[in-house]
């Protein structure tokens, strides 16, 4: 049997190999041409601009953005190839969008004055709002002071506490004499507990955060139970915080800080400083911004200085008297 040559069919006839088609490449070539044609048709269709629809789109964008730009004016000059303007808009290299004070090089003097007037008006408006917020906050803090004083008067402890309204908020100063803390100790005495019992209810209802600051006087006495005045002042502040959190104030509103003798209430040369500078300050922290809080002392007037608290009744009587006096002068 032979492995080469053609095979034989029955009857002795020879079977020839199938004829090979050498023109199959034409099919692939035709497919490629078809795809290229489709590609160029798509590209051509994409390059054709419907002027009417583009004008409608441009008009809508112009109205939406409030711009009068030539690009959105619906003008077809540039699209038609007739745009021949070569002018360049000069840009101020010092321009800083948003600062309101630059980019005015090409403005007329009148326009510059108008911009400056607008900026001054905006600054006055902001200053007025800040002053109004500070005045309102000072009034609210004064009402807190009155409620605390009411409770202190009822407990016959009015002389043990002083008040100040400053940029931090309302400062309630408790003089830490032997009624509050024993010398060199941070254990709260019964008298101190009575004072804090009177203060706590008024503070518990406030949304403000509370900071308790511990202070020592400037005497160079040795702190028997603590390494220095830093630890002693911080321990006393922490004791007050712990007491207040046990009487209705939440922990996440409280903080304790020790200042040792670095922030005297009165001049250390004053004989009263031995007692007055040894104190604990309970600070009702303001919720104003820093700029508004800076105006609090001015808004508080005489209450920005260390003073004895006025009761609610006394404050109402004083306000009535002031109103009457003002009316009489009118």
* pLDDT computed for residue 123 by the predictor: 84
Mean pLDDT of 257-262: 94
**Helix, strand or coil for residue 149?**
helix
* pLDDT computed for residue 132 by the predictor: 94
* Tokens 């800080």, residue located: 257
* pLDDT computed for residue 71 by the predictor: 44
* Tokens 């209810």, residue located: 201
Mean pLDDT of 313-323: 82
pLDDT at 78 over 50: no
pLDDT at 262 over 80: yes
Give the torsion through C-alpha atoms of 158, 162, 165, 171, to 10 deg: -100
- Statement: the pTM of the whole predicted model exceeds 0.85: no
Q: Which two tokens stand for residue 199?
A: 């203060």
Q: Which two tokens stand for residue 310?
A: 């006025």
Mean pLDDT of 64-83: 48
Per DSSP, helices labelled H in the chain are 25-47, 51-65, 109-154, 190-204, 229-245, 273-276, 290-293, 296-300, 312-329
Q: Give residue 280's Cα distance to chain centre.
A: 30
* Tokens 């510059």, residue located: 112
How far apart (Å, rounded) are the C-alpha atoms in residues 236 and 282? 12
**Cα–Cα distances in angstroms (integers) from residue 84 to residues 47, 69, 78, 79, in the given order:** 21, 17, 8, 11
pLDDT at 202 over 90: yes
Mean pLDDT of 14-19: 54
Mean pLDDT of 41-52: 69
Within 8 A by CB and 6+ apart from 94, the residues are: 102, 103, 105
How sure is the predictor about 274, in pLDDT bands with cuts at 50, 70 and 90? confident
């Amino acid at each position: 049997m032979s492995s080469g040559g053609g095979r034989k069919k029955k009857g002795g006839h020879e079977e020839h190999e199938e004829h090979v088609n050498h023109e199959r490449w034409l099919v692939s070539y035709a497919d490629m041409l078809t795809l290229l044609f489709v590609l160029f048709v798509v590209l051509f269709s994409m390059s054709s601009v419907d002027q009417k629809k583009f004008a409608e789109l441009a008009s809508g964008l112009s109205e939406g953005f409030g711009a009068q730009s030539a690009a959105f004016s619906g003008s077809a000059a540039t699209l038609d190839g007739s745009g021949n303007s070569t002018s360049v808009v000069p840009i101020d290299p010092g321009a800083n969008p948003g600062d309101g004070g630059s980019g005015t090089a090409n403005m007329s003097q009148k326009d510059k004055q108008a911009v400056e007037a607008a900026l001054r008006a905006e600054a006055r408006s902001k200053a007025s709002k800040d002053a109004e917020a500070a005045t309102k906050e000072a009034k609210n803090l004064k009402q807190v002071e009155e409620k605390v004083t009411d409770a202190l008067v009822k407990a016959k402890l009015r002389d043990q506490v002083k008040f100040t309204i400053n940029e931090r908020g309302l400062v309630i100063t408790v003089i830490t004499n032997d009624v509050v803390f024993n010398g060199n100790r941070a254990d709260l005495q019964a008298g101190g507990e009575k004072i804090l019992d009177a203060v706590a209810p008024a503070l518990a209802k406030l949304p403000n955060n509370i900071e308790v600051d511990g202070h020592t006087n400037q005497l160079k006495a040795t702190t028997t139970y603590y390494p220095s005045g830093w630890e002693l002042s911080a321990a006393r502040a922490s004791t007050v915080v712990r007491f207040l959190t046990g009487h209705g104030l939440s922990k996440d509103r409280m903080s304790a800080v020790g200042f040792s003798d670095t922030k005297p209430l009165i001049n250390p040369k004053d004989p009263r400083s031995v007692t007055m500078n040894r104190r604990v300050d309970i600070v009702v922290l303001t919720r104003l911004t820093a700029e508004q809080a800076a105006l609090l002392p001015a808004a508080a007037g005489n209450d920005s200085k260390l003073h004895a608290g006025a009761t609610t009744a006394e404050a109402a009587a004083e306000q009535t008297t002031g109103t009457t006096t003002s009316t009489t002068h009118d």
